[in-house]
Chain A
Amino acid sequence: DSGVTQTPKHLITATGQRVTLRCSPRSGDLSVYWYQQSLDQGLQFLIQYYNGEERAKGNILERFSAQQFPDLHSELNLSSLELGDSALYFCASSVEGPTNQYFGPGTRLLVL
């Protein structure tokens, strides 16, 4: 158990819909990262927040957005969902600086 929690574990929705994925980092970690894992693209970095502020952006679609709240939990919002958005979405957390990132159990999203 990494100490990172993610909800929900599974999500099934339809194309065009909007969903919100939630992540709670390890106690004491200020950075939260979101990654997408799909069969064809592998593990891809989406976005990072540090203490409530966006720190870095990766290959994140404009339909996707994220935020980190004062209690340090983070939410990833996916809108206008397409079939290709079906994937595993992982959250990871770390303390400040280039240190180890610890991953949560992921949310499996299926868009039908």
Chain B
Amino acid sequence: QQQVKQSPQSLIVQKGGISIINCAYENTAFDYFPWYQQFPGKGPALLIAIRPDVSEKKEGRFTISFNKSAKQFSLHIMDSQPGDSATYFCAASESKAAGNKLTFGGGTRVLVKP
């Protein structure tokens, strides 16, 4: 059962453009939503995270938008750079459950063309 659905599976964007990745979740008990960036051969690196009491969070060129009623959240990468080419994963967890396991989306492979 895929509790976090991520789209698109891949996207190509020109340097300077905006990359947008969307995620939707089913479990309303989820209350923590991080995004990870993964380069080939490396472990996922935490990029930015949001909790549902906030509708938007920005860190540098990365912005998370959160829509609690729609159970959706998205990552925007502004002014995309070739160094942003990587696979991005959204994730979710519920703080009140035993443990804080992350449930991941399927990933989006982003290619930024120079």
Contacts and interface: CB of A to CB of B under 8 A. Distances in A.
Contact of B31 (A4, A44, A98): A98
B44 A43 contact: yes
Contacts of A2: 43, 45
Contacts of A101: 34, 46, 100, 102
| B contact patch SS | loop
Given A42-B106, A97-B95, A102 B46 contact: yes
Interface in A1-51: 2, 4, 31, 33, 35, 42-45, 48, 50
A29 to B, nearest CB: 12
Among A4, A97, A99, A105, chain B packs the most CB atoms within 10 A around the CB of A99
Interface in A52-73: 55-56, 58
Contacts, number: 64
Contacts of B7: none
Interface in B29-62: 31-32, 34, 36, 42-46, 49
Contact of A104 (B43, B102, B103): B43
B93 interface: yes
Nearest to A45: B101
Contacts of A102: 46
Interface in B44-93: 44-46, 49, 89, 91, 93
Given A43-B104, A50-B99, A56-B100, 15 more contacts: A2-B43, A31-B100, A33-B101, A35-B102, A42-B104, A42-B105, A43-B91, A43-B107, A55-B98, A56-B101, A97-B100, A100-B34, A101-B100, A105-B42, A106-B42
8 contacts: A33-B101, A35-B102, A42-B105, A43-B89, A43-B102, A44-B104, A48-B101, A100-B46
